[in-house]
Amino acid sequence: MFRLLGFLIGSAAAITIILLVLGTPDFHLADPEIDQQRFDAAVEKLKEKQQEVAEVAEDIVEKAADTVDELQDNIETVAEKAVPELVAQLDDEPPATTEFITEALPEVPNLANDYPGLQEELQWYSFWNPFRSEIAARGFVTQLEKVTGLDYRVVKVKTGVYEVAFAYDNDVERSTKLSQISAATGLELPDS
């Protein structure tokens, strides 16, 4: 009880001293006429700015429309001039680009016949502890791909469990890839 009474007396004394030192504040009670004048002035300024923005926007739209019209006219003019010339060229001689394209394309071997492992479905081997977020797993995959040059996938086991895996055909390839990852990164991997 005495503490509460002491707090109230001390607070009142502090407020009294502040008022004596600084003086009593001059409160401007709200005058409705002054407030209305300030409000009307603010509204007028906003209307002026809105009109300025509308005028500038209208000018920009007009300029853009003029530019688009000019471009369409230019495209039509170029197309009218170029199309007959191209048709005449095609009629006179076959273009050399088709010969270049057919010569530039090498024969693509049938990879499925050359590599029987591609016909079978690849197996995926998860070689690292699961990550709690897909973002972390993808970051790990990105760094591994830069360092090793192998292809990796992020496999979602369930919500909050993401594993990093690589494809392999047989146990020899799996152990080879594990040793390649260990050599490139310095990570200690099982079966490497």
**Tell me, what's the pLDDT at 16?**
94
Q: Are 165 and 155 in contact (CB under 8 A)?
A: yes
Share of the chain above pLDDT 90, in %: 17
pLDDT of residue 91: 57
pTM assigned to the model: 0.37
28 vs 31, more confident: 31
What pLDDT score was predicted for residue 84? Answer: 64
Give yes or no: residues 92 and 150 share one domain. Answer: no
Q: Which of 82, 105, 128 lies at the terminal end of a domain, its last residue?
A: 105
In a domain, 18, yes or no: no
Looking at residues 151-176, what average pLDDT do you find? 88
92 and 145, same domain (yes or no): no
Shared domain check, 80 and 40: yes
pLDDT at 37: 85
